[in-house]
Each structure stands twice: as structure tokens, then as C-alpha cells.
């Protein structure tokens, strides 16, 4: 990366990654050195390991010379330097733990595709909501102003809320999957992992409200329309519109009917207003009253 860098931002990115990973490696080598004493003095692998550690530590020490240049480039780039730092942090995390879920901006992890899993993998709504939520996470990275970011936050929070409801509605169906089916446990693990991931999205609600105040009524209305369009592109045209001022689900259980003004959707079992003609969770359309 350092050899190919053609701009200040690219060079800073390379320097930060180089120094960051060098420090991580130095710390790890230091932590492991004591284990070499467990090897016999006559074990040739012991001397080879010590020689490797000495050579590696010597090579890593050269990265300290980049500190002054790193600081100079950061000062030159100004606010852009912070963005580069965040990118390098994500790159380092992925290199150190390649099996971890891919992360987007704000520390939000992208949700994996459940294709091939029983119950969840065959559900079109689950697939569409996952696409919508992941698209919202990516929109956060691309946002150039408050309204763009508000659109992204609306998509992420709304899709996460609906996906939680859909997953918890479908989860009981796993009981019909034979225990001998190895994919059954994979589906359970997917649901638990995804529900934990989605909960992080609701930490963005406070910023969402703040941005709504900053962009004003016109910007707020425009953001809601765009977010609704994004949701419908991924989930389907029957998806109910985004409601910016509505709280997400407080828990992971489907909401029961509590009064005569509510009714249950026959398709997804979610509770909605009795006057509703379209289910806001799954898009089911009710037949007009006779």
C-alpha cells in the first residue's frame, strides 16, 4: 500500500496500518516469549523461534521512524484524517479477525444472508429486510450531508425493527424441523446472532431525532419518502412506509392485541391498528369490509 500510494490520504492510510499492525505484532510476540522457556534447551525449534522473534522485532522497530511523517500528513489533511483513521481501524479489525462479520460505519455489522437455512432462508421478507438494512449501513458511509445520513439512519432502524419482528414470528416454525437436520441448529444460531446484531441499530435513534430537528420539516419529509422508497425497493412495493417518529420494538416478542382498536395480521401475526388496510410489517393487504 505504501509503495502504491499516490495521494496524502492513501499514504496516511498505509502508514497507519503499518504502524498499527506492527505494534499489534510486537505486543503479541512479547506475550508469547515466556512460552519458549517451556521448550527444552536441546530443542532446535527453540533457537529457531528465538532467532525469528529477534529478527522480527528488529524489523518492526523501523516503523517508529514514520511517526513524524504520519503526524505531518494528518495535520495537512485536517478533518479527512479522522475518516482515514476509522477506515484503518476497520481494516485492522478485519485482518486480525477475518471470521468476524464485515463491519460498516458506526461499528454496525452487516447481517449475513440466511440462504439455505430452514425457515429463515426461504422467507422473502427476511431476505428483503436484510438487504434493506445492509443497504442502509452502506448509505451511512456514502452520506454527504445531514439529510443523506438521516435517510440512512431511517432505513437502518426501520429495517432492523421489522426484521426483529419477522425473525421472532418465524422462530417457532423451527420446531417443525427435524432435530436430525444439522441446518436446524445453524438457523437457531443465525437468529440469535442476528437479533444481537440488530439491537445495536437502536443506539442511532437519538442521532436520528437530532438530525430530524436540524433538517426541518421539509428535509424530514423528504428523508422519510426516500427511506420508504429504499425499503420498498428491497422488500417489495407492498412494504408499509417508514414512520420516523415511531419507537422500535421494545423487546423481541411479537406484540399481542391489547384493546379493541387493534387486530392481528393473519400472515405475520403482528398487531396493527384495526383500521389498517395494509400490514406495516409484512405488506399483507386486507380485503375491504363488506
One pLDDT digit (tens) per residue for the chain, 290 residues = 778 888 888 888 888 888 888 888 888 888 788 787 777 888 888 888 888 888 888 888 877 778 888 888 988 888 888 888 888 887 777 666 555 455 555 568 889 999 889 999 999 999 999 999 999 998 888 877 889 989 999 999 999 999 999 999 999 999 898 888 888 889 998 998 898 888 878 788 888 888 888 888 888 889 999 999 999 999 998 888 887 554 444 444 444 434 455 677 787 677 777 766 666 666 666 775 54
**The predicted structure's pLDDT at residue 256:** 43
**The predicted structure's pLDDT at residue 257:** 39
Based on the fold, state whether residues 141 and 226 are members of the same structural domain: yes
**The predicted structure's pLDDT at residue 44:** 82
Residue in 114, 117, 137, 138 with CA at minimum distance from that of residue 127: 114
Q: Is residue 48 part of a domain?
A: yes
Based on the fold, state whether residues 21 and 87 are members of the same structural domain: yes
Q: Is residue 274 part of a domain?
A: yes
Based on the fold, state whether residues 226 and 274 are members of the same structural domain: no
Q: Is residue 154 part of a domain?
A: yes
Residue 129 near residue 120, CB atoms below 8 Å: no
* C-alpha–C-alpha distance, residues 137 and 104, integer Å: 6
Based on the fold, state whether residues 206 and 267 are members of the same structural domain: no
Based on the fold, state whether residues 83 and 175 are members of the same structural domain: no
Other CB atoms within 10 Å distance of the CB of residue 216: 11
- Which of 68, 100, 132 lies at the terminal end of a domain, its last residue? 100
Based on the fold, state whether residues 162 and 192 are members of the same structural domain: yes
Residue 275, classed as helix, strand or coil, is coil
**The predicted structure's pLDDT at residue 54:** 87
Based on the fold, state whether residues 88 and 33 are members of the same structural domain: yes
Domain range for 62: 8-100
Q: Is residue 284 part of a domain?
A: yes
Q: Is residue 1 part of a domain?
A: no
Based on the fold, state whether residues 263 and 211 are members of the same structural domain: no
Based on the fold, state whether residues 230 and 260 are members of the same structural domain: no
Q: Is residue 172 part of a domain?
A: yes
Q: Is residue 115 part of a domain?
A: no
Q: Is residue 2 part of a domain?
A: no
C-alpha cell at 157: 432502524
- Kindly report whether the global pTM for this prediction surpasses the value 0.85: no
Task: List CB contacts of 146: < 8 A, sequence separation 6 or more.
Answer: 211, 214, 215, 219
- Domain total for the chain? 3
**The predicted structure's pLDDT at residue 120:** 94
Based on the fold, state whether residues 131 and 227 are members of the same structural domain: yes
Based on the fold, state whether residues 178 and 278 are members of the same structural domain: no
Based on the fold, state whether residues 93 and 188 are members of the same structural domain: no
E strands in the chain: 262-264, 271-273
Task: List CB contacts of 58: < 8 A, sequence separation 6 or more.
Answer: none
Residue in 91, 111, 105 with CA at minimum distance from that of residue 138: 105
Amino acid at each position: 500500500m505504501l509503495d502504491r500510494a499516490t495521494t496524502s490520504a492513501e499514504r496516511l492510510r498505509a502508514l497507519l496500518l503499518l504502524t498499527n499492525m506492527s505494534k499489534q505484532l510486537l505486543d503479541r510476540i512479547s506475550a508469547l516469549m515466556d512460552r519458549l522457556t517451556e521448550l527444552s534447551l536441546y530443542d532446535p525449534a527453540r533457537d529457531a523461534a528465538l532467532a525469528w522473534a529477534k529478527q522480527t522485532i528488529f524489523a518492526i522497530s523501523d516503523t517508529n521512524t514514520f511517526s513524524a511523517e504520519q503526524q505531518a500528513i494528518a495535520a495537512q489533511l485536517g478533518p479527512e484524517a479522522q475518516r482515514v483513521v476509522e477506515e484503518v481501524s476497520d481494516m485492522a479489525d478485519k485482518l486480525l479477525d477475518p471470521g468476524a462479520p464485515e463491519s460498516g460505519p458506526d461499528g454496525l455489522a452487516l447481517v449475513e444472508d440466511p440462504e439455505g437455512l430452514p425457515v429463515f432462508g426461504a422467507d422473502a421478507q427476511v431476505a428483503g429486510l436484510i438487504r434493506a438494512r445492509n443497504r442502509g449501513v452502506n448509505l451511512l458511509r456514502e452520506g454527504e450531508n445531514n439529510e443523506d445520513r438521516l435517510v440512512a439512519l431511517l432505513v437502518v432502524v426501520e429495517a432492523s425493527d421489522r426484521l426483529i419482528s419477522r425473525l421472532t414470528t418465524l422462530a417457532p416454525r423451527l420446531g417443525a424441523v427435524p432435530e436430525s437436520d444439522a441446518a436446524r441448529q445453524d438457523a437457531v444460531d443465525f437468529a440469535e446472532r442476528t437479533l444481537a446484531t440488530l439491537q445495536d441499530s437502536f443506539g442511532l435513534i437519538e442521532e436520528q431525532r437530532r438530525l430530524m430537528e436540524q433538517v426541518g420539516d421539509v428535509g424530514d419529509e423528504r428523508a422519510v419518502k426516500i427511506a420508504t422508497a429504499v425499503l420498498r425497493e428491497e422488500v417489495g412495493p407492498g412494504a408499509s412506509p417508514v414512520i420516523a417518529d415511531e419507537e422500535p420494538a421494545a423487546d423481541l416478542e411479537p406484540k399481542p392485541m391489547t384493546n379493541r382498536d387493534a387486530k392481528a395480521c393473519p400472515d405475520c401475526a403482528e398487531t396493527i391498528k384495526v383500521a389498517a388496510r395494509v400490514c406495516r410489517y409484512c405488506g399483507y393487504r386486507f380485503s375491504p369490509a363488506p
